[in-house]
């Protein structure tokens, strides 16, 4: 994660959340379970907002890396979002809510 992406991500997180303690391998292990939990518990609009926020973080550095794009699309697919949702999110002007 780049410095620009980290700065953007920190705007979404609660005080005291330490990005430097994130373990990428652990996140890869947890991601399928988290996707299932979000799909089961969140509404469609909430799931779309989560992916939009992830796209916002990924999009602070252009172009978005292919691996990031694939991961975003995998997450969107797992959350049962429209196939072009990630592309649409990455094409809009970044703006935090």
**Residue boundaries of the structural domains of the chain:** 3-91
Within 8 A by CB and 6+ apart from 90, the residues are 55, 58, 59, 64, 69, 72
Give the pLDDT score at 97. Answer: 54
pLDDT at 18 over 60: no
38 with 79: CB under 8 angstroms? yes
pLDDT in tens, 22-71: 567 777 888 898 899 999 999 999 999 999 999 988 888 889 989 999 99
Give the pLDDT score at 47. Answer: 94
Give the pLDDT score at 96. Answer: 54
Give the pLDDT score at 23. Answer: 67
Give the pLDDT score at 80. Answer: 97
Using 50, 70 and 90 to split pLDDT, how confident is the model at 12?
low
pLDDT at 87 over 60: yes
């Amino acid at each position: 994660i780049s410095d620009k992406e980290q700065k953007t991500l920190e705007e979404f997180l609660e005080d005291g959340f330490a990005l430097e303690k994130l373990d990428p391998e652990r996140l890869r292990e947890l991601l399928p379970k988290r996707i299932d939990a979000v799909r089961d518990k969140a509404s469609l609009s909430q799931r779309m907002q989560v992916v939009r926020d992830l796209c916002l973080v990924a999009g602070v550095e252009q172009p978005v890396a292919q691996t990031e794009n694939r991961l975003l699309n995998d997450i969107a697919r797992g959350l049962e979002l429209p196939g072009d949702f990630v592309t649409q999110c990455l094409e809009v002007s970044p703006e935090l809510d």
